[in-house]
Structure 1
Amino acid sequence: MHLHLHSNSGISGDMLVGGFLDLGLPLTLLQDHLEKLNIEGWKISQKSVEKLGVSAIQFVVVYEDQNHHRHLTDILEILANSKLSLKAKSIAEDLFQSLGHAESSVHQVPIEEVHFHEVGAIDTIIDIVSIAIALEYFEIESVSSSTIVEGVGKVRFSHGECDLPVPAVRKLLGDIPLLRIPVTSELVTPTGAVFLRRFVECFSDLSPLLQPRKGVGCGTKNLPHPNVLELQISEQKLIAEEIIRLETNVDDLSPQLLASCLEKALTAGALDCWATPVFGKKGRIGQQLVLLCFEKDRDLLLEILLKESGSFGVRVQPVKRLKLDSRHENFSTEWGNISMRSGFLGKECWQWKPEHRDIVTAADRTGQPQALIEAQVRQAWGAKLLASREPE
C-alpha cells in the first residue's frame, strides 16, 4: 500500500493520526495497542470537526504528565519494555532515534545525553507510537508527499524564541522543499518533520495514486486557511516524475537534418522526442521540435537543439508526468530470446510489448513476417502473465 500526503498546512503527529483514523483505523484498536506501552495517565479520543468548511478528524490526547523532560534512553526503555509488535516497536524506535540525532546535533551534546522537552511529553509519545501502529495496520510500504507548507516569523518554546522552522525541525528537514506562507505560526512540528525525513521517498504535488481512499486529519489551531492534512492510500501507484520539456519551432530544416537532430537527442539522454507540423509566420510550413528529459540532461540537450536545429532559441518548461513502472525481462520463445518491456501498476501488469529490434532480428533470421512474430510473442507473454496470477 502506498501513502501520499497532501499538505495545505504543514504536518504534525496529531494531524497524521487524525488522517489515519479518518481512513478507517479503529480507535478501539489503537487504544488496545497503546495500552501495551504500560504507561499511565492518558486517554485518547477522536472528534469530527470542520476547518473553514473542510471536514476532518481531530485526534485528542488528554494526559497527566509529571515528567515532560525525558531522555532518549527513557523513551527507548519504555518502547523496549512494551508489548507492541516488533514492527510497530521498530518504527517508533527509529523515529525517536532520528529525533535524538537531530537534537544532539543542534545542541552539540552526545545522543545519550539528549534531553527531550516537548518531544518527551506523553502526547508526543502517543502520537509517534500511534503513527507506527497505523503504518503497520494499513501495510504502508512507501510514502510520497506534496510540497510541505511552513509558516514564517518566530515561535516561543522551551529553549526560548527562535525563527521558524525551529532548529530541530530545520535539521530534520535538511533539503526537503518547503513552501513558506504568510502565517505567523509553526506548521511543521518535530514529529511531522521526522516522519517526512524517515519515510517520504519523493515530493511532488502530483499524487501518484489512482482512485485512492482519502482521510483528513487536522491540527488544533484555527488559522486563516484550513488547518488540515489529507492522507491518500491505494495499491494502485503510478510513478510521478518532474521532467523538462524543451521545444522550438523551425521552418528551414530538411527532413534528413531533422531526423539526425532527434536521433542525437535520444542518444544524449532524451526520454522522448518528436516533431509536429506547424503553420508559422509569413505562411511558412514548419516543425515544432519537442524533447523531454531529466533536469540533469537539460544543458546537453539544449546545446544539441541550438546546434543542430538551426533555431535561435528554445522554450524550457518544467512538466510533471505519471507513468507505469516499466520493467524489462528476457523472454525465451521459439523465435529466440526477446526482450519484453512491461508496465506495472502496483502488482498488476497493464501493458507489455516486445522490443522491436529483437522482432526484426528474429524475422531476418527466420524469414517470417515481423507482424506474425510480434503477435505470437505478445500472446505468449500475456499467457505467462495470466498463469502467474492464477492461484496455486
Structure 2
Amino acid sequence: MTKLLYLECTSGISGDMAAAALLDLGASEEAVRRALDSLDVGGFSVEITRVRKSGLDVCDFNVVLDAAHENHDHDMAYLHGHDHGHAHMLDHGHAHGHGHDGDAGRSHGHGHSHGEHHHRGPREIAALIDGAAMTEGAKAIAHAVFGYVAAAEARVHGVPVGEVHFHEVGAVDSIADIVAIAVAADDLACDGAVVTDLPCGRGTVRCQHGVIPVPAPATAFIAEAAGLPLTPVDVEGELVTPTGAAVAAALRTGDVLPERFAIRAVGMGAGKRAYDTPGILRAMIIEPLT
C-alpha cells in the first residue's frame, strides 16, 4: 500500500501546528518526548494537550519555558542585529502577539551549565540534532528543515550561512519544534507528502527591529528556494511562518493530490494566533486509489 502524508495548509502552517497535527495523526508521543529529553539543552518542557478551535477538538503542542527564559511571541529567530559581524536572530518576535503558534524561537534558554553560549550557529545546531535520540531518518528531516531556515536567514541578512547565529532565546524553541516534527514525520513512515498551496496573507507584522512585510522575508526566500506554491488570501497577518515554510519544503514530495484516494487517518494541529481563519493545520494519511 502506498501511504502519503497530506498537509492541508488552508489556514497556514507553523512549527507548533505541524508538530501537533502529526502527533494527532498518530505519531508516537513517546518517541517525540524521548528525542526532546535527549537534547543537550534545558530551560523548556513540552505540553501536548487538547483545545477547542472553531468548535473542533484539536491537538495543541506547546513548548513551555521556565521562568528565567520566558519571552514574548516566538517564531524563528529573526533580525537581532549584526553584532560581531554575524546575523543574530531572535525570532520574529511579533510584539502584537499575532501569528500561528509561533514556532520557532520561543526563547528557551540554556538552563544547563554546558557552556553559556548566547547564540548558536548552524554547526552547533547540527551537532545537537546528531546527538539526539532519534533515527537517522528523523535526523535527516531535522537537518533539511534547519538547512532551509539557515539559508533563508543568511540571504535576509546578507551574510554567509556559517555566520548566521540564532540567539539562545530563539534557538532552543526552534530546535524543540523541529525535532518534534522530524521524529513525528519519520515515525509515520509515509511514502511521500503532498503539501497544498500555502496561503499568502497580506499586510505587515512587527518584529523586534521594525515592521516587515507578509510573507516575512525569510518565508519568501524559503518559498522561492523550494518552489512552494502560494495562494493569496484576504487575511491580514502572517499565516505561514519561516519554520512552517521550511517544514513544508523539507517534507513535500508533491503538491497535487491523487485523482482518487482513501483517507486512512486524520490529525489536526492548533495554531495560537488570532486571525480571520480557523488556525488549524489538518494532516491526513491517504492511500491513492486506482
Quick one: structure 1 residues 206 and 118, their matched pair in 2 at CA, closer, same or farther if it must change by over 3 Å? farther
Q: 2:193 aligns with which of 114, 124, 143?
A: 143
Is the deviation greater in 14-23 or in 194-203? 194-203
1:206 CA displacement: 7.0
Separation in 2, partners of 1:69, 1:223: 32
Q: Pairwise mapping of residues 62-101 of structure 1 onto structure 2 (< 5 A)?
A: 62-63=64-65, 64=69, 65-66=108-109, 69-101=119-151
2:12 to 10, 13, 16: 10
In 2, the alpha carbon distance for the partners of 1:126 and 1:152 equals 29
Alpha-carbon distance change, 159 to 114 in structure 1, aligned in 2, over 3 angstroms? farther
1:126 shift after superposition: 0.7
* CA–CA separation in structure 2 for the residues paired with 1:5 and 1:79: 24
1:58 aligns with 2:60: yes
CA distance in structure 2 between the aligned counterparts of 1:130 and 1:214, rounded to whole angstroms? 18
User: 1:194 is matched with which residue?
Assistant: 246
Q: Report the residue type matching 1:86 in the other structure.
A: E
User: What is the alpha-carbon distance in structure 2 between the residues aligned to residue 66 and residue 118 of structure 1?
Assistant: 6
Q: Which SS does the other structure have where 2:253 is aligned?
A: strand
Q: d(CA) in 2 for partners of 1:141 and 1:182?
A: 34
- Superposition deviation, residue 194 in structure 1: 0.8
- Determine the C-alpha separation between the residues in 1 that align with 2:137 and 2:252: 18
C-alpha distance after superposition, 1:103-142 (max 9, x if no partner): 1222221111012359943221111111110111111220
Task: Work out which of the residue numbers 198, 214, 229 in structure 1 matches 2:266.
Answer: 214
> Is 1:180 aligned with 2:232?
yes
Q: Closer, same or farther in 2 for the Cα pair 1:199/1:24, shift >3 Å?
A: closer
CA contact (8 A) 2:42 2:109 kept: no
Structure 2 letter corresponding to 1:81 = G
How many angstroms apart in 1 are the aligned matches of 2:168 and 2:230?
Answer: 23
Give the Cα–Cα distance (whole angstroms) in 1 for the partners of residues 222 and 169 of structure 2.
Answer: 14
Q: Which structure has the highest strand share of the two?
A: 1
Q: Could you tell me whether the CA contact under 8 Å between 1:215 and 1:231 is conserved in 2?
A: yes
The count of corresponding residues between Structure 1 and Structure 2 is 238
> Matches of 1:190 and 1:84 in 2, distance apart?
24
Specify the alignment match of 2:281 in structure 1.
229
Deviation at 1:58, TM superposition (A): 0.9
Which residue number in structure 2 is paired with residue 38 of structure 1? 40
Which of 127, 142, 154 matches 1:104?
154
- How far the C-alpha of 1:55 sits from its partner, in A, is 2.3
Cα deviations by residue, 1:178-226 (Å, 9 ceiling, x for unpaired)? 2222222211011111122222122237786313310000111132221
- Paired residue secondary structure (1:103): helix
Q: 1:117 to 1:172 in 2, by over 3 A?
A: farther
Task: Give the residue type in structure 2 aligned to 1:28.
Answer: E
Distance in 1 separating the partners of 2:6 and 2:43: 33
Structure 1 counterpart of 2:212: 162
| Structure with the larger helix share | 1
Superposition map of 1:1-392 within 5 A: 1-63=3-65, 64=69, 65-66=108-109, 69-117=119-167, 120-174=170-224, 175-204=227-256, 209-234=261-286, 236-238=287-289, 324=290
Taking structure 1 as reference, are residues 209 and 37 closer, same or farther at Cα in structure 2, changes over 3 Å only?
A: farther
Whole-angstrom CA distance in 2 between matches of 1:206 and 1:180? 24
**Aligned counterparts of 1:77 and 1:5: Cα–Cα separation in 2:** 29
State the AA in 2 paired with 1:237: P
Q: Is the 8 A contact 2:12 2:199 kept in 1?
A: yes
User: TM-score, normalization: structure 1?
Assistant: 0.56
TM-score, length of structure 2 as denominator length:
0.75
Flag as ranges the 4+ runs of structure 1 deviating above 6 A.
none
Letter in 1 for 2:49: K
Structure ID, larger Rg: 1
Per the alignment, do residues 43 and 14 of structure 1 end up closer, same or farther by CA in structure 2, a change over 3 Å counting?
Answer: same
Residues 209 and 15 of structure 1: CA distance in aligned 2, closer, same or farther (over 3 Å): farther
Identity value in percent? 34
Between 1 and 2, higher relative CO (CA 8 Å, sep ≥ 6) is seen in 2
Q: 3-state SS of the aligned residue for 2:262? A: coil
